Structure 1
Amino acid sequence: MAALSYAGDGSYPPSYYAASRNITRQPQKLEGEVEGDICVVGAGYSGLSAALHLAEHGFNVVVVEGATVGWGASGRNGGQVVNGLNASLDTITRRYGEQTARFVGGMLQEGAGIIYDWVERYAIDCDLRRGNIYAAYTPKHMEELKAKQVLWRQHGMDDHELLDREAIRRHIGSDVFEGGMIDHSGGHMHPLNLALGEAAALESLGGTIFEHSPVTKVQQDSTGASVLTQGGKVSAKAVLVCGNAYLGHVVPELTARVMPVSTQMMATEPLGPDRANALLPTGMCVEDVRYILDYFRLSADHRLIFGGGVVYGGTDPADVVGKLRPNMDRVFPQLKDVRIDYAWSGNFALSFSRVPQLGRLGNRVYFAHGYSGHGITGSHLFGRILSEAVRGDLTRFDTFAALPWVPFPGGRMFRAQYSTLGSWWYALRDRLGM
């Protein structure tokens, strides 16, 4: 198979998720010219969400993917259904005003709702479990969580339960946390199986997915838009660009808007039910509330999946286990003898404002990207908003499209270095408990 511009031969990276996926697809490559109502670039969560929403409304949707379904962040993330955006509602209020904050606050749980609905409606087998925990290391972290609970209640969300030092130990078998907060509307699942299940749902409604078909150009004129690959062309009424961190330079107008950032994960050997349940007795997933955070959860076969860290610019660290293992051992010193079976890395797209970006290039090319580490729920929500725009309801799309985007200081050449300097400062604050 010919090499792809960014994904080798298009095979999944050697992650636990790829090894345990429950659907094996027979990829169909785009050859020649095809037509559809809408063409979607990218078969990750954003593209699948937009495509499936459109297919549910009777549109003939064609998805073009350079590698395979869920190859990017959608198939190798932490698997945690965490509500909200990277930018807090306080930040959004300060930047954009109270009206925008109320608008955003009213939809922060919608992405999770889409996932839960589709898992049930399409019988997607992805080991879905409810509940996620924000874990606090310091009293200052606990004050932040208390303020978050109050703020989210003001926006109609009352699913959060505060945990003191004693209470959090009923959920996490570790002595390192000061306390925490449960979001009962959050959850976790097998992310690649969710993506594969959504792809199957799309195809059951008549949608078409072409894989191993890297896009070379997106173009439009007064009558329509088209997507070109090395082997074919899709003509449509509109194109939705959902390449996110792996779009590269295919659409030059979007290249500078976001920066690829890698995060790392590893999965232990199977621990067995007793040992696994001693780590996380209630089976909820966890992320701490530091700027450079760690996150972890149990898999269905009783492994601990542990992730964290960032590398700005999207490069992979030389030793993922060496980077993550000390953090895991600090939280769970009882795992120091445990074997690590899988370790992998993957990119998400960071926007400088930490707010996702929606927009339109010309009249027929729409885009969504920049979830900044909150892509599981954000991508499903923004995929729905893209589908609304294509169907003629621009209410929510225009609100987000009107938000100003800010380029990274240092431009494309030095944005990674600038962001790394900033991360060092925030990591120092984490270590000092500031």
Structure 2
Amino acid sequence: MLQATGTEDSRCDNGRTKLPETSVAGSDGRFAAGLNTSSYWLETAEPAPGLPADPLGKVDCVVVGSGYTGLSSAIEIARGGRSVMVLESGDAGHGCSTRNGGQISTSIKPSLNALAKKYGLEKARAIRSEGQAALDWIEDFVTREQIDCDFSRCGRFHAAHAPDQFEQLVQQTRELRSEGIEADIVTRAEQHSELGTDAYFGGVVFPRHASVNPARLHRGFLQVALDAGVHVTPHCTVTEISKNQDSFHIKTERGDVTARDVVVATNGYTSTLTPWLQRRVIPIGSYIITTEELPTQLVDKLFPTNRIASDTCKVVYYYRATPDRKRIMFGGRVTASETDPVKSAPKLCDDMCRIFPELAEYRISHAWQGTVAYSFDELAHTGVHDGIHYAMGYCGSGVSMAGYLGMRLGQKVLGMKEGRTAFDDLRFPTRPLYSGKPWFLPAAVAWYRWQDRRQHKKAAGMAWS
């Protein structure tokens, strides 16, 4: 299953592009004049604080990447009494940490049974429990640090896009309940109490899942890091990391740095700077659109419970009302190959209006993109390679896991036993001939989308028969 909601650290341009109305959607009038291709969330967040232009020459620890993972690890290390510098190639947090859908789940994709077959039941339970720990941790962090980011335990409605998918969800729900995970089955007859659409065949509610404004969450991470004494230098690309006997030498575009420890927190933007890591993550673009402001009664009809939503398609859609309940945000992947937000927006709009026909008469104001990182085993990974600490591979569900593993990573750098996680001793797999460029992805996405379309057509026929 391909899901892209992600949280990344670094290299996307978040500049705003103004486009003539006719250049986006022709004569259908669905797109606002001057379609905004920056993240909608950035408009709702406070401007980033002024940050130093130049790096320090020597620190205890250098963190590469200023998203949730990087800042969380930096906060922990700085509060442990060490000097920390975060280096970022663009604006602070301008990757998926400010571009995701703001949905927070328990982050672990493989089921307990699948993990048990591979690792044994005890290890499987430990891995699955990390997802619950991450979800609880992010709520505690936001509360403790008093971050104003619209965090809410609103719950998630996971919808079945075909009747057989509903039956699978019922079975999976029984398994989840055996793990102590709250999950409530919603039949198709009850569906309108959760989501104002006839496009699905029931689903499951996860009442403890949460929503957040991701850009404001990131601003909170950044301010906490600065208050802890972390030196954050944006627009300072790291070009080389080498290790001497007892320290690292880091070359940047703005000068060289010496550090005792290095943390790499680049996730979907992992590059040739760290080729071993690049070979182990699959960068996948995720695309999101946002409507213009909508009538209150329409938003109330489509999202009566204000839950976040997703579905069982192989190439997952995810959507929600914005925190002020004035717009609908709709995300997913609509092309086999990577594209740009302007080209993906009409296709996303078509899919959104298939689910919510009432939105066809309203315009799209924003369309943007970010890059998440999948791993070959659909698990997050954290550890140390060649002395470099890392955490990445959140598989599109990293809003809580990124910050949580960043915190644990910081504890590891400090030598604290609390830093150990169930992910630490897992093999971080790759594939022969894979170098970080997913040549196989277009074919895989095309195949999954074909399966989804076939199921949609079959399900539509059953719905109207």
Tell me the TM-score normalised to structure 1 length. Answer: 0.90
Query: Residues 85-130 of structure 1: CA distance to partner in whole angstroms, max 9, x if unpaired?
Result: 2333333222222232111122211222222112212221212222
Alignment of 1:295-306 (within 5 A): 295-301=318-324, 302-306=326-330
Residue range with higher mean Cα deviation, 42-51 or 395-404:
395-404
Which of 437, 442, 465 lines up with 1:420 in the alignment?
Answer: 442
Alpha carbons 2:317, 2:331 under 8 Å: kept: yes
Report if aligned partners of 2:105, 2:397 keep a CA contact under 8 Å in 1.
yes
Match of 2:215 in 1: 192
The 1:324–1:342 alpha-carbon spacing in structure 2 relative to 1, beyond 3 Å, is same
Alignment-derived partner of residue 379 in structure 2: 355
Q: Does 1:291 align with 2:326?
A: no
Match of 2:103 in 1: 80
Q: Please give the alpha-carbon distance, in whole angstroms, between the structure 2 residues aligned to 1:230 and 1:49.
A: 24
Deviates more, 1:326-335 or 1:98-107: 98-107
Q: 1:220 to 1:295 in 2, by over 3 A?
A: same
Give the structure 2 partner of residue 144 of structure 1: 168
Contact 2:410 2:419 in 1 (8 A): no
Q: Is the 8 A contact 2:291 2:362 kept in 1?
A: yes
Are the equivalent residues in 2 in contact too, given 1:21–1:192 (CA < 8 A)? yes
1:33-432 correspondence to structure 2 within 5 Å: 33-35=57-59, 37-130=60-153, 131-157=155-181, 159-301=182-324, 302-309=326-333, 315-316=339-340, 319-363=343-387, 365-393=388-416, 397=420, 399-408=422-431, 411-412=434-435, 416-432=438-454
Spell out, residue by residue over 1:297-342, the C-alpha distance to the aligned partner (whole angstroms, 9 max, x if none): 1113311000011667755365121120111001100010101000
Give the percent of matched residue pairs that are identical in Structure 1 and Structure 2. 29
Q: Distance in 2 between matches of 1:72 and 1:346?
A: 6
Classify the secondary structure of the residue corresponding to 1:146. helix
- In 2, the alpha carbon distance for the partners of 1:31 and 1:389 equals 24
Q: Return the alpha-carbon distance in structure 2 between the equivalents of residues 264 and 147 of structure 1.
A: 31
SS of 2:136's equivalent in the other structure is helix
RMSD: 2.4
Q: Give me the whole-angstrom Cα distance separating, in 2, the residues matched to 1:86 and 1:324.
A: 24
The DSSP-based 3-state class of the residue aligned with 2:209 is: strand
Distance 2:434 2:337 in 1: 12
**2:34 maps to which residue?**
none
Q: Point out where structure 2 has 5 or more consecutive residues left out of the alignment.
A: 1-9, 17-36, 459-465
Whether 1:30 aligns to 2:67 is no
Query: SS state of the match for residue 226, structure 2?
Result: helix
Q: CA deviation at 1:207?
A: 1.9
Cα separation, 2, equivalents of 1:428 and 1:199: 41
User: 1:74 is paired with a residue of what secondary structure?
Assistant: coil
Provide closer, same or farther for how the CA distance between residues 94 and 176 of structure 1 changes in structure 2, counting only shifts above 3 A.
same
CA–CA distance in structure 1, aligned partners of residues 409 and 115 of structure 2: 21
Consecutive unaligned residues in structure 1, runs of 5 or more: none
Distance 1:417 1:241 in 2: 24
- Structure 1 residue 21 corresponds to structure 2 residue 45: yes
Change (3 A) 1:148 1:392: farther
Q: Which moved more, 1:298-307 or 1:119-128?
A: 119-128
**Who is 2:19 aligned against?**
none
- Cα gap change, 1:7 to 1:309, in 2 (>3 Å): closer
1:6-54, Cα deviation, whole Å (9 max, x unpaired): 555x75861211222224322322245132x322111111112222233
Moved more, 417-426 or 128-137: 417-426
Q: 2:12–2:370: 8 Å Cα contact kept in structure 1?
A: no
Structure number with the bigger relative contact order (C-alpha 8 A, sep ≥ 6) is 2
Residue type of the alignment partner of 2:269:
Y
Q: Contact between 1:261 and 1:315, CA under 8 Å: does it hold in 2?
A: no
1:250-286 CA distances to partner (integer Å, 9 max, x unpaired)?
1122221112110100010011322212210111110
Query: 2:359 and 2:65 mapped to 1: Cα distance?
Result: 38
Q: Which amino acid aligns with 1:244?
A: N
Check whether the contact 2:102–2:212 (CA below 8 A) recurs between aligned residues. Answer: yes
Distance 1:40 1:337, change over 3 A: same
CA distance in 2, matches of 1:31, 1:192: 24
Could you list the per-position Cα deviations for residues 203-257 of structure 1 after superposition, in whole angstroms to 9, with x for gaps in the alignment? 1122221111111112223322243211133333211100111132111222211
Normalised by the size of structure 2, how large is the TM-score?
0.85
Aligned-partner Cα distance in 2 for 1:409–1:304: 42
Answer yes or no: is the 8 Å Cα contact 2:310–2:316 preserved in 1: yes
Query: How far off its partner does 1:178 sit?
Result: 1.1
CA pair 32-381 structure 1, distance change in 2 beyond 3 A: closer
Equivalents in 1 of 2:86, 2:15: separation in Å?
Answer: 18
* SS at structure 2 position matched to 1:344: strand
CA shift at 1:144, angstroms? 2.6
